[in-house]
Amino acid sequence: MVDFRRLEDVDVAGKRVLVRVDFNVPCDDVGIVTDDTRMVAALPTINYLRAHQAKVILISHFGRPGGVRETSASMMKLVGPLSNLLKTDVSFAPDCVGNTADKAVAALCAGDVLLLENTRFHKGETYTAGGAKGYDDGFARVLAAHGDIFVHDAFSVAHRAQGSTSGIAANLPAYAGLAMERELDHLSQALDIPKRPVMGLVGGAKVSSKIDLLKNLVSRLDTLAIGGGMANTFLAALGHGVGASLCEHDLKNTALEIMANAKLANCEILLPVDVVVSKEFKAGAESRVCGLDEVADDEMILDAGPATIDKLADAIDASKTLIWNGPLGAFELVPFDTATVEAAKYAAKRVKNNGLIAVAGGGDTVAALKHAGTADGFTFISTAGGAFLEWMEGKALPGIEILKK
């Protein structure tokens, strides 16, 4: 389990506290926020700091302007929505470094909140040199000069070493914000110190994008269920015909290696035992349920079948912890969302009635669970994409390393 410095460990009264948030939120064509989930996630930390008389300075990126000032990527459009959420006025500096930022910081009183302009308007935030991505030390030092304490509250960017994360932490004492704490505590509960048996459910389109994840999980789980398009590669590796389905035939040996490693680690691999196939990849297409060796050459596997869903339910019943990443089929298209929806509903039911610890994460995963209406039924859902995956792959995340005691 990660032993990290927490916000509660430091006295923030009267201090300038630099808070790295993730306000890279979806906006429509006229700049109106369409989903404020990430802003809401930052509220507990901001309110805690205000209540403890800190001077709160928020920094974030927005989009990928690549070191160029773009009006459409300005953080200014978030001042109104953030003020409404906090029920207090939020001030704004039209730059994150330089005289305007310095003056805005100097004007802060205890309990005030200041939002600085997009850090990615400066190349130093994600400076690249010699092919290696990182940040410019000089830019990071100027950013850090705004604060006395650094609070990292954006797990979604924890997998990258950038000026506004690792760079500031190299110059200021760094602590995890409350959202970061919650993320790390739940992920540790699921993978580092889990209640066993532990089951993983991994879906998605391709094995190639999750090789490291699968290799790490088979060494740490009791059961690993594989679904979605990636299951086709495993089925093909075992000699089953997959017709016109999405399948990475060149990774058959990789799939066999993962299954062999799972056997050595006493991790049971669950693959579909029946599938839903169609000749068309579109909503409402004619489909049928068939066995693994009954897929026609012109048919695509687009979902797991009812017998597979039953098997997954049995495995969930036998588990005390569930880690979920990726859908079980083409959940965006009805009726190929059935397995994902049914499995998600069953897991949520077990969380409520049997105390199952169910943790999920990844972009498609969040969308799939929202589609299933179970986003509120899981123990914890991480909105981080790449950071969640790299954590599950067992990799050291720069944004977490800086917080360790």
Other CB atoms within 10 A of residue 355 CB: 10
Paired sense of beta strands 198-202 and 223-226, if any: parallel
Q: Which residues pair with 200 in a beta bridge?
A: 224, 323
Could you give the residue numbers annotated as active site?
38, 206, 363, 386
Q: Which residues pair with 184 in a beta bridge?
A: none
* Alpha carbon 310 to its chain's center: 28
Quote the CA–CA distance of 21 and 274 in Å, as a whole number.
44
